[in-house]
Structure 1
Amino acid sequence: MTVPVPVRGLAPGRADLWRLAAAVGLGLVLIAGAMREGPIEGPRGVLIVAMGGAAGVVVFLAPVATALLLLLASFFRLAIHVSGLPAEPMTLLFAALVVAVAIATLRGTIRLHFGPLEAVMLAYLLWNVVSAVWPHVYPAAMPLTGEPIVIYRFIMMGTVFPFAGYVVGRALFQSASRIRVLLFGVLGFAAYSALVSILQFTGPRALVWPKYIVDKPSWPERAVGVFDQPVVNGLVMSMGFIAAVFLAKDRSLKGWQRVLAGLVAPLCAVGIYLTHTRAVLIVFGLALVLCAFIAPNSRSVFAGSLIGAGMFVVAEWATIASADRAEGGLGSPSEVQDRLNMIQTSFWAIREEPIVGWGIGRFAQVNTHHHQQWATDINWTRGYGYSSHENELGIAVELGLIGLALWLVVLAMVAYQIVRAFRRLPRAGVDGRTIAVLAVVSVVVWVGSGATVDMRYNDFVNLLVFLIAGAAVGASIRQRDEQAGKAREPAGAST
């Protein structure tokens, strides 16, 4: 079912561009102030809040700008802390996006779609809420520290953000101009991630922000990026590498824009290697293989990159196969044992509570009170008390087989929509196969990364991946509707 409103203004006009520029400018001022000052109180805090209110007035009338600002706030979520606000900037901008989309829908400038996929998304979201309020054996808290898990934020990051991203991407990012803006956004996020990843090891460290990347990274021997997490950092750079190649080959862009995109691609490749993480390198290699087969007008670039990466691995195999992460080694038996024990714990937990699960946010509790051992030759303490390191198993343990089934149906239906969009869209143009290929690759690397980490904790990539998927589907539907309209024109003109 589609909301029956007329579709107008899909391509941004001059007023839309002015609102976009004003909103982005105000957002950057706010973020710059927060970066420089940290927590702000008193008159300066009032000023920041006032500027935020002014930005809110602007973004309410520009949902595209609001979506981009939300991505920006989510990207820097760990680094930005502004006291005195009723919620963190990311949450406030998400609320602004909801209002902006609602206003645009009422004005008839966009249309929202509610079909079988959206219905299953809603059912999965409601199941998360039911699990949050249902009584469970263990509290939603980290058992080893007692730190509570804020369930509503957990649901927002792992469920609301990706689903809203798909809906917004489908409704807003349909035209070539807006998809190009989205691609440059991906390029910018990946370029920043690559630069701080390289500077983390080469310096000068004074240029790195946020400072926890160099002062107190959770993994000192790996490129953690602004997320302080090497897998998510590598995922963003993998997506950025693909976007950079596409933009560098886009002849509709200015020369300097293509050169800039061409420079970002090798930076991302270096940053990906510096994560020193097997999962990152595997999904990046998988992305190159996929693009070498399905990418329009760029297959030779991806094939050449794949060959170059293979030659590098062969030449550096002795180092890569070692367990010395600081030197680029990927061997880590202890991490494998962690995951094996957690997998065994997951299987036990699913057998014990197969239908409704142990409760959302309770995996670490189960893994503490009922920790299992994969085999007798694996140390029992490996993986003890950790949160889930596998996305689907974490869902099955916490939400039961009902939650897992709903989630898998969502993934299957999103995949079907993307494949159908890929087949419908023309080969040429960023609103053609380019966005479709990026959507395919993004979802594949996102699902692949979920085999080693619980993606529900990572709001930015959840939002971005599903936003790109929605954009691909929206572009295909827009072009289908335009073709159908052209096909009806001669008959209408003759009557």
Structure 2
Amino acid sequence: MAGLSSLLPDPASERADRWRLVAAVGLGLVLIAGAMREGPVEGPRGLFLVAVAGAAGVVVLLAPLVTTVLLLLASFFRLAVHVGGLPAEPMTLLFAALVAAVGVAALRGTVRLHFGPLEAVMFAYLLWNIVSAMWPHAYPAIVPNTGESIVLYRFILMGTVFPFAAYAVGRAVFRDPSRIRVLVFCVLGFAAYSGLVSILQFTGPRAMVWPRYIVDAPSWPERAVGVFDQPVVNGLVMSIGFVAAVLVAGDRSAAGWQRLCAGLVAPLCLVGVYLTHTRAVWIVFGVGVVVCALVARGQRGVFVATLVSAGAFVVADWATISSADRASGGLGSASEVYDRLNMIRTSLWAIGQEPLFGWGLGRFQQVNTHHHMQWATDVNWMRGYGYSSHENELGIAVELGLIGLALWLVVLGLLAHQVVRAFRRLRDRGVVARTIAVLAVVAPLLWAGTGFTVDLRFNDFVNLLVFLVAGAAVGLSVREPAPQPAGAPT
């Protein structure tokens, strides 16, 4: 029975976490509301908001769980909330607070950080990024057509430090079912918001949509862009949220209101995914549903029904879907295919020229401007000209060379090994354990699939979320005792 007791949350700890979470989120909402009302805040009012943030810091410093939730919230709304008068943006400040909170907890002995082969390779890859940023290269790290400097330290934070730290925090902090539930409901909350604003972007009432750029000036007017102003990332969040919603809705151990909320989130995400009108999103969503139909014990029927319904819809509406009319749901867009083909050709040439060390962190746009190449004579040379990388691994190889790419692939390989091992340990350990196990398999898979169409290093929120979910599953599985042989004493 000792093994079973490790699965049960400590009621006192759970209550303390809950009240810290309520207090800190309440203070965070005060800050967001103040920023929304006042805009960039300077002078005395700015100092007041900093003081409120300091009060929140007192709370979060002793609660890594709360700090992690606030960091996810700040990252989710990063484009929407701007607060002047601060030494850095809220997301960066909260990350510093998380590092401090985890450090304090480690000194107090309430969390134990792990450093193994995966963490060692993560550290090596981070160092390689730093070396590349500091090393002199043929081109400066600027946006070619504007001359704007690329802030390399922030690029490293979003693409490397944040996700790697999230994995470590997930493994160290989210190690019991009550905290896993907090993480899963964070996923549901973010996905629900993304689904709702995606629907309101096209159906109204548009006055209810915030942030306003979703309806006033979206970068892709025909697609559901969400708070990220980017349909691919928006679709990825909703795809992960759909999986979480189906799993929670089928969890008979969850409270009735929790299952009801999850049941409402699932269709929001399903409609939102459709409204992205983006091939990559539909493909990764389909992959996620297929994987869940194979591994999500207890909910396979729901995923199979979703897959069959989606397939029937695509077949019935194929004429519209295969057209280039995005406003009507068409996915046809030869120009986007040509963009990527030209960038692939340029990337392969660039790797051949600087195979080991690459052209330097943040230099892909420079290479794609000064050495842009054509995939074939029947592809317009201008397609993809001067763009940032639209393929994650090729972008890494161009900028960091084959050494950087090798380190990154080893990180992904070791992470996949840890996640698969965690899934095998957790799939028979109860509903909560099985839920995070399935999410830990599906979320990185969808995230990696999305990397075939975008450079993931620009997307701080999904990087944080995916690595946090993976770390949480690994942490819970490590805490679990190994299965006992039949008849063995307990």
TM-score bracket relative to the smaller structure: over 0.9
Preserved CA contact (<8 Å) 1:425 1:432 = yes
Inter-CA distance 431–259: structure 2 relative to 1 (3 Å threshold): closer
Distance 1:248 1:426 in 2: 17
Q: What is the alpha-carbon distance in structure 1 between the residues aligned to residue 449 and residue 10 of structure 2?
A: 34
Asked if the contact 2:280–2:453 (Cα under 8 Å) also holds between the matched residues in 1, the reply is yes
What is the distance in 2 between the residues matched to 1:298 and 1:249?
7
C-alpha distance in 1 between matches for 2:403 and 2:271: 41
**C-alpha distance after superposition, 1:161-206 (max 9, x if no partner):** 1101110001111111111111100000000000110111111111
Cα offset, 1:489, TM superposition: 9.3
2:326 alignment partner in structure 1:
325
2:32 alignment partner in structure 1: 31
Structure 1 position 30, deviation (Å): 1.0
Give the alignment of 1:2-401 within 5 angstroms: 12-401=13-402
Match of 1:472 in 2: 473
Name the CA distance, whole Å, in 2 between partners of 1:141 and 1:120.
29
Q: Deviations over 1:236-285 (max 9, x none)?
A: 00000000011101112221221111011011000000000000000000
- 2:350, 2:360 → 1: CA distance? 11
The alpha carbon displacement at 1:430 in A equals 4.2
For residue 245 of structure 2, what is the amino acid of its counterpart?
Answer: A
Q: Which residue is equivalent to 2:403?
A: 402
Mapped to 1, the partners of 2:72 and 2:16 lie a distance apart of 22
Residues 296, 428 of structure 1: 8 Å contact kept: no
CA distance in 2, matches of 1:357, 1:430: 46
Q: 2-side partners of 1:226 and 1:10: how far apart?
A: 36
Aligned equivalents of 1:133, 1:26: Cα separation in 2: 38
Aligned partners of 2:252, 2:38: CA distance in 1, in Å? 42
- Check the 8 A contact 1:161/1:459 in 2, yes or no: yes
Write the letter of the residue equivalent to 1:409. V
CA distance in 2, matches of 1:440, 1:265: 19
Aligned amino acid, residue 240 of structure 2: M
| TM-score (normalised: structure 1) | 0.95
1:316-373 alpha-carbon deviations (Å, 9 max, x no partner)? 1110000001110000000000000000000000000000000000000000000010
Aligned partner letter, 2:26: G
Once residues 186 and 13 of structure 1 are traced to their aligned partners in structure 2, the CA distance between those partners, rounded to angstroms, is: 19
Structure 2 Cα separation of the partners of residues 63 and 28 of structure 1: 18
Compared with structure 1, are the counterparts of its residues 174 and 431 closer, same or farther at alpha carbon in structure 2 (3 Å cutoff)? farther
Secondary structure of 2:481's aligned partner: helix
> What residue identity is the alignment partner of 2:400?
L
**Structure 1 residue 47: Cα displacement:** 1.4
The one-letter amino acid of 1:259's match is L
- For the residue of structure 1 that corresponds to 2:153, the secondary structure is helix
Deviation at 1:145, TM superposition (A): 1.4
**Residues of 1 paired with 2:488 and 2:308: CA distance?**
49
Inter-partner Cα distance in structure 2 for 1:36 and 1:301: 43
**C-alpha contact (below 8 Å) 1:40/1:82 kept by paired residues:** yes
- How much has 1:18 moved relative to structure 2? 2.2
1:147 and 1:121 map into 2 onto residues whose CA distance is: 30
* 1:450 paired residue number: 451
CA contact (8 A) 1:223 1:275 kept: yes
Letter in 2 for 1:149: I
Given the superposition, is the C-alpha separation of residues 15 and 68 from structure 1 closer, same or farther in structure 2, using an over 3 Å criterion?
same
Q: Distance in 2 between matches of 1:102 and 1:161?
A: 16
Take 1:488 and 1:159, find their aligned partners in 2: how far apart are those partners? 44
Extract structure 1 runs of 4+ deviating beyond 6 A: 487-490
Structure 1 residues 404, 186: CA separation in 2 closer, same or farther (over 3 Å shift)?
same
- How far did 1:35 drift? 2.0
The TM-score with structure 2 as length reference comes to 0.96
Measure, in 2, the Cα distance between the counterparts of 1:396 and 1:431: 38
What is the one-letter code of the residue matched to 1:103? V
Residues 102, 10 of structure 1: alpha-carbon distance in 2 compared, 3 angstrom cutoff: farther
Task: Structure 2: state its 5+ residue gaps.
Answer: 1-8
Identity %: 75
The amino acid across from 2:333 in the alignment is S
Secondary structure of 1:480 counterpart: coil
* Paired positions, count: 480
1:253 corresponds to which letter in structure 2? A
- Tell me: CA distance 1:250–1:431, structure 2 relative to 1, closer, same or farther (3 Å): closer
Shift of the alpha carbon at 1:134?
0.2
Q: CA RMSD in A?
A: 1.6
Separation in 2 of the partners of 1:109 and 1:35? 36
- 3-state SS of 2:361 partner: coil
